Chain A
Amino acid sequence: MSHTLTHIDFRRNSQTVPPNILAATQKNTRTAVLKRAEAVEQLGVAYWEQLRQAGHDLRLHSITHLDHYLPQLESKVIAAGGQVHWADDAEHARQIVVEIARQHHATRVTKVKSMLSEEIELNDALRDAGITALETDLGEYIVQLDGSRPSHPTNPSLHYTKEYIADLFQRKLGVNAPPEPTALTEIARVKLRDEFLAAEMGISGGNFLVAETGTLVLVTNEGNGRMCTTLPPVHVAVVGIEKVIPDWSCAAILLQLLARSTTGQQISSYTTFITGTRAGGPREFHLVLLDNGRTRILQDVHARETLLCIRCGACANICPVFNQVGGHAYGWAYSGPIGAILSPQLIGTRLAGDLPFASSLCGACAETCPVKIPIPEILLHLRHRVVEGDRFARPVAPAILRVGTQAGTLALALSWLYALGTRILKFAQLPFKRGEWLPALPPPANRWTMVRPFPAFGADFRAWWRRRVTSGR
Chain B
Amino acid sequence: MSINGLFQTGRNSIRTLESAMQAAGHNVANADTAGFHRRRLDVRSLGVANAGIMMRPGQGSFGGVGVGVAGFSRTRDAMLEGAAWQAQAGLGSAEENVRLGSALEAVLNPETAGSINGTLRSFWASWGDAVNTPTDTGVRRVLLNQASTLASSFRRLDGDLTRLQEEQVGSLDGHVGNANALLGTIAGLNDRIAAARTAGTPDLDAEDTRDEAVRALGGLVPVRVTEEADGSYSVAVQGMKAVQGREVLELERVGPPDNPTYAVRFKGTSVALLPGDGADTGRIGAALSGLTVALPQARQALDALAARLVSDVNGLHTAGFGLDGTSGRPFFDPTGTTASSLSVAITDPAHVALSGATGAPGDTSVGRALAELGAGFDEEALGLSAAAGRALSRARTEADARGGLADHLDALAGGVSGVSIDEEMTSLIRYQQAYAASARVIETARDLFDTLLAL
A, B bound: no
